[in-house]
Every structure is written in C-alpha cells, then in structure tokens.
Chain A
Amino acid sequence: MARTSTPVVAGWFTGAGEDFRLLGTECPACSSVFFPREDGMCRNPGCACDDLVEVPLSRRGRVWSYTDARYRPPAPYVSDPELPWEPRALVAVELAAERIVVLGQAALGVSVSDLDIGMEVEVVAGVLDEEGDEDTGTAWTTWHWRPTGVTA
C-alpha cells in the first residue's frame, strides 16, 4: 500500500508522466483560455459565450519570472514544523499558444540559481505534501515546472 494520490484541487490537471497536463477551459466563441478553469461565463467583456470547454494547456513554456520562498509560508500552506524549512522556488511561466502566464512551484531540487528568464520549462506532476501514515494517508498532488534542460 501507499498513500492515496489526490489532486490538491480537483480538475486543474490530469494524467501522469509524459501525459501530465494542466487543464484549463477555452471559450469556443473568442478562443480565450482560462486557468484556473472558468466554468461559468467567458470573462472577455466583449464575448457573451457561457459554454466553455475543458482544454489541456501546453506542456512547455518559457520563464516569465521566478523567485523563491526563503521563509516558511503560513497556513494553509502545509509543511512539517519539525523539519527545517527548505527554500522553494516559484516560477511564472508564459505559454505561447495560450498567451497566459501560469505560476507554479519549481520541481523539487530546482533552485533560483538553476533558472533564467526566457528559459524553457515543462510541466510535471509533483507532490505538494503528504498527510497520514504510509498505508492510509493522502499524498496531495500538484503541478511543478522543471527546466527542460534538466533530466531527472
């Protein structure tokens, strides 16, 4: 047995390995893309469409900017107070086809010194935090950005 993998937010991503993708929605009338997904009306003020469809986002994009959290973020971020805080890089990534910038944590082990603006990164599945014991607990899954030049 292992912890049950559960998305930290339902419907924001799908798949595993090479097939892992962020999920947004698209307006069939004006082509606007929404992430996090917009399931009601299109937010383009010149568009009256209210029938958005789910769409996977591009796997790869380029770094718009990046930073990191040198101090433990407050709740509801979950981290083990017993362990020393390890700085975590955050990456804002521009997806060319969707013309959108999506923020995410960098993959584990990627630090700000590994990143540059304009660098190509890809979305990968990751674990945000785990709770409960090895057999019955939950692993909360999320998306991470990883430089495509890195193999791991």
Chain B
Amino acid sequence: MTRDVAVLGAGMHPWGKWGRGFVEYGVAAARAALEEAGADWRDVDSVVGADTVRAGYPGYVAGATFAKALGWQGARVTSVYAACASGAQAISTARAQILAGLADVVLVVGADAAPKGFFRPAGGDRPDDPDWLRFRVLGATNPAYFGLYARRRMALHGDTLEDFAQVKVKNAASGALNPNARYRSPVSADDVAASAVVADPLRLLDICATSDGGAALVLSSMEYARRHGAASPVRIRAVSTVTPSYPNTVLDLPDIATDSAVGKEPEGPGFRGSIARAAYEEAGIGPEDLSLAEVYDLSTALELQWYEDLGLCAAGEAAKLLREGATAPGGRIPVNPSGGLASFGEAVPAQAIAQVCELTWQLRGTTGARQVAGARVGLTANQGLFGHGSSVVAVR
C-alpha cells in the first residue's frame, strides 16, 4: 500500500510587509493552490489551518477562519500550532487524514502578518512561560540565540564571517529570481559586512526578517489524483515532526538552559539531526538521493548547520561545502533555490508550507530561471521554539 499523498496544487501570496490581515494572505494562497489543482473549494473534504499567535482568536482557529472566508461548505476542520513547524504539522495532519481514508482532498493553509522588528512574547505578565521569561530576565531575542550558535561554529569549526556572508549572497541571488520572495535584489559580501551588527557576530543581513505572507497546498490521495487526470503528481513521501530526545544538550529557543547530561548520556544525532533522520527513514532515502533541499536559514550560520544535520557533509565541513559551490545553483545539492528565509523573511505558520510549495514547483520543473535541473527528490528542514521541527520529503 502506498504511503504517498499527491500534491495537486501549491499557491502563495507573495511575502512582504503589506500591512493587511493574515486572512487575506491565506485566502489568496488557498485560491492559487486550488486553481493550480483544478479543484473547486467545494470539493475539499477537510481544511487544515496553521495558526498564528499574532492575530487574536481568528489566528488560533486559523482552519475555521480560512474556511469561513472561503465560504462555509461543511468541510472537516483542524487548526494546529507548533511554532515555526506549524505549517509542517498542518501538512502532517492532512496527510494522516488522507492515508487513514478520512478525506480525499485536503486544503492546507498558513498565513501571517508580522510586526516590525523582533518577535516578542504575547502581552501580560506570565512568569510560568519560558518565552516570556527569556525576554524579561535576559532580553534574549531570537537573533541572540542565532548569535550564540554562530559564535560557537566559528570557535568549533573555523567558520568565518565571510562564510556566513556567502550564504546570504547565494540565497539573495536565488531570491532575485523568485516572484514570491520579499527581497529580490542581489546582495554582495560587502553589503553584508556593511550592515549593522544585531547580535554579535551576526549582522542585519545575516538574520532573516519577519514578514507577511501566505502559502497553501491542495493534497489528495493518489487514487483521487489518478481519477482526476494527475497521472504522475508530485508526491509527499515523508513528514517528520519528531521531538527532541532527553537530554537535549543544545540551548534551543526559548530556553534559558539546556537539559543536564548527568542523569542520562546523550545519544543520537541531536535534535536537528534526528528530524532529518526520521524523514530519511520514512522515505527510504538518504542524503545522497537529494536533488535539492529547502532549509530554515533563520540566520546564515544556521543554514551551514543544517548542511551537517542533514548529512550533506560531515560535522564541521559545511563551510567547505559552501565554498566548493556544492549548495549553489548548479552544484551537487542546491540548498534554498527559492532564496530561503534570507529572501522571504519569516511568516511563521506559512513558512514550512512555502518550503513544500518550492519543492513541488522544482519537482515539476516549473520554476524558470531558478530551476534545479532534473530535480527528482526534495527535502525541507525546519526548527522552531519549544521542541518543534519538521522535515518533508517530496518526490516526482
């Protein structure tokens, strides 16, 4: 029995700082995905929304919010929140419903309208909330954690600021070719070096912005796809949404301390590595099979970290892989051909869905100037707050 689900359609509302509500972005993305799928909204059995915490109640019940905006038609509804992995959990939910035979056609939607500047916790005094505490007690913004990881890589592996800048240069060049990206101008290493330091050693152009945007997918059973003329659709073969293993010895957002390794010896590849490993195992592939990867480059240095966590190279060799051009367009394993978060900025609940939109279009061969030649297998990787992460494998 196949465990694949078909991607009938993908759609986005372009990323930017548009100043409108998240519902508008989500509905635009949903309509684009439905149109690409050749499906009528009324044919959708189930709608799964990825929530935003920045828009009050409608954001907490995003599935219903989008369903109402598209016109109530009686579909089953689910809303999920998993920080930066919300979009992937929405895909995971849709896939589970399809594979369980509960739904034939599922619409997955995520959208956000982000504030200017740093992400911050919701209002009110909440001393039991680690996310509130790290701001109150330490003033530790998300870029502060990115700065810690970057500095550690420099000390451990000899990465340089120039290496980090070259990640931005690579991703900006791809983003310039992507009509859905927010930033569409080439960036030079000098531009990165001239931008302000935000969290030492990282500069403004090393760190992804916060953006407005929306992304959607129409997923179906393979049988439904065949019945409706999609003989060889892009297929989702794996969705990894694993949690960390105790003790988690890397200081992850939004924690003030790691787990202690005194009571139990750390095992396995670490959290990010375990996210990828579960996806590889579920899909029955390895890193050598990938045509491309879309990874969560919240910072330039984090993109390098992902190369190692995905097994594209050995630990400590990410900068070498970058310098060789292996992850650039035309390289052995292009990473972030969409332009990545460097070119999009993060629209939290939409971002992991947007990664799968890019895989879909790359695997169909419809991305024009940023096309990875002969793409057959793509993988996404993402990590967010509170032990969330995801990896999706799509094949053609």
A residues lining the B interface (CB < 8 Å): 8-9, 27, 30-36, 42-47, 64-71, 73-79, 88, 90, 92, 97-105, 112, 117-118, 128, 142
Contact = CB atoms under 8 A, between A and B. Distances in A.
Nearest to A113: B200
A70 B148 contact: no
Given A36-B256, A70-B200, A92-B148, A98 B246 contact: no
A99 B262 contact: yes
Interface residues of B, number: 47
A138 to B, nearest CB: 14
A128 B199 contact: no
Contacts of A64: 148, 152, 251
B257 A75 contact: no
B285 interface: no
B200 A33 contact: no
Central interface residue in B137, B151, B197, B249, by most chain A CB within 10 Å: B137
A95 B151 CA distance: 19
B263 A70 contact: no
Contacts, number: 144
Given A71-B198, A77-B139, A90 B144 contact: yes
A90 B151 contact: no
B135 interface: yes
B267 to A, nearest CB: 11
Interface of B: 117-118, 120-121, 125, 127, 130, 132-141, 144, 147-152, 155-156, 196-202, 246-247, 249, 251, 255-264
A88 B198 CA distance: 11
A45 B251 contact: no
A44 B135 contact: no
Nearest to B202: A67
16 contacts: A27-B263, A35-B256, A44-B247, A64-B148, A64-B152, A66-B151, A67-B144, A67-B147, A67-B201, A70-B199, A79-B139, A99-B247, A100-B257, A100-B259, A103-B251, A117-B155
Contacts of A74: 117-118, 120, 135, 141
Contacts of B149: 65
Central interface residue in A44, A103, A117, by most chain B CB within 10 Å: A103
A119 to B, nearest CB: 11
Nearest to B256: A103
